[in-house]
Structure 1
């Protein structure tokens, strides 16, 4: 807040982000889209160019701007003006970290391996996965955790209540596949990008596919371990 996920969940998701520009912009050509783009060179221009597969020259071209703007629009980064600022690079850098995790997200051994089946949440990399001892059961998958003042709380917890068709009584929004593990904080699906700032009200948001899979793999009483610090803190 199911279909079988192929190996390389995060890498495949990130690769899909570099979409054809005309498709991302609703059929507009780069020249048309450039009219609403900034001509300014952002502090992370070269990094953004490299991430998006553009020529890395540190100069803002109309095509560079259109590509950056499409990325921003896709992930709710505002203003979506094609400027390679700190928020845009922060999202791109986070995706790079997630891709680097590959199929060994617990390589450092931070998430306990002596608890049997456990859902791990790494706030720093905005990743979650399910493991059983040292065996990776599912994931890692990108997640969206709590925003400022609504941080997802760290520590060892347990799933204490599940409600597949839950609706928040506090925010009056659907929370499908909810699995609560700390007060009002739960795993559940949402309909926005997992890289969409500024984040949740403390829940661990997932795509519908991933939340559905977590629902099928976890049960009441299973452990959840949350650690790290969300990006930028």
Structure 2
């Protein structure tokens, strides 16, 4: 009986492999059930739960270059470029402050970019295409530039050491720098004189009789030329010029200097 069953089973397998018909117990011939053997091709896997049909792959967010709180020369360039297209009116200061963040956000919104207030690669490239390379005095329009080394004539005694190259003033005593401030000079039509002078008159609340303009904390050193506070310099920076005087924008600093400088102290104006 077992032998008969084995033979039948063998015959069934052979029939399937050969694709022939088999005869049933009713005497009728029937097509066998076709069984396909594996051919080595894996069946397609069902899509992962996250990959739904029709879903699109999100592009990675652009890298953030600078954001609020960052400082440095790159921030000055960002601010200078934003000023060129009237999105920023203060600075450059070199600090990514709230005004810079608001300017970047406005620029982004105007151009259909995400309004994050952070400067990412896409925002920066768009800004580069719309602006020119800022010059040195665009970056330091409102001051903040480093001072160059003092002139040798400033290293002895008490001296206001004024550099036209770096646009800075060092108040020095016996070769030691007490205070450093950015300064502004006269235009090409009213240039600030160069050389070695001395303070001959101090006038705390001076008003120019020639130009009818305030000259607080004036320290005169050559004719009508003086070192003094300038509200115009404080407001416009290097976008303007003096009538030959040495302008200081930091009122607190020049008030401190005015209190220390004496008549007869040396004034050196150099390149």
Q: TM-score per shorter chain, which class?
A: 0.5 to 0.7
Picking from 120, 130, 135, the partner of 2:176 is 135
Pairing 1:201–2:243 present? yes
Using a 3 Å threshold, how does the CA distance of structure 1 residues 19 and 118 change in structure 2: closer, same or farther?
same
Partner of 1:124: 165
Secondary structure class of the residue paired with 2:192:
coil
**Aligned 1:1-233 pairs, distance under 5 A:** 15=93, 18-21=96-99, 29-31=105-107, 59-61=125-127, 83-84=131-132, 88-92=134-138, 99-101=145-147, 105-106=148-149, 109-114=151-156, 116-138=157-179, 140-193=180-233, 195-206=237-248, 207-228=250-271
Q: Partners in 2 of 1:164 and 1:142 — Cα distance?
A: 20
Q: 1:122 touches 1:128 (CA, 8 Å); kept in 2?
A: yes
Q: 2:187 touches 2:243 (CA, 8 Å); kept in 1?
A: yes
Length-normalised TM-score, structure 2: 0.53
Q: Partners in 1 of 2:267 and 2:241 — Cα distance?
A: 20
Q: Partners in 2 of 1:33 and 1:192 — Cα distance?
A: 33
Using a 3 Å threshold, how does the CA distance of structure 1 residues 173 and 99 change in structure 2: closer, same or farther?
closer
Q: 1:151 touches 1:201 (CA, 8 Å); kept in 2?
A: yes
Q: Partners in 2 of 1:30 and 1:93 — Cα distance?
A: 21
Secondary structure class of the residue paired with 1:171:
coil
Larger-Rg structure:
2
Report the count of equivalent residues. 171
Instruction: Pick 1 or 2: higher relative contact order, CA cutoff 8 A, min separation 6.
Output: 1
Using a 3 Å threshold, how does the CA distance of structure 1 residues 56 and 98 change in structure 2: closer, same or farther?
farther
Secondary structure class of the residue paired with 2:159:
strand
Using a 3 Å threshold, how does the CA distance of structure 1 residues 18 and 185 change in structure 2: closer, same or farther?
farther
Q: Partners in 2 of 1:172 and 1:118 — Cα distance?
A: 29
Q: 2:233 touches 2:240 (CA, 8 Å); kept in 1?
A: no
How far did 1:20 drift? 2.6
Gaps of 5+ in 2: 1-90, 112-117
Q: Partners in 2 of 1:193 and 1:204 — Cα distance?
A: 10
Q: 1:94 touches 1:125 (CA, 8 Å); kept in 2?
A: no
Q: 2:92 touches 2:140 (CA, 8 Å); kept in 1?
A: no
Q: Partners in 2 of 1:22 and 1:127 — Cα distance?
A: 26
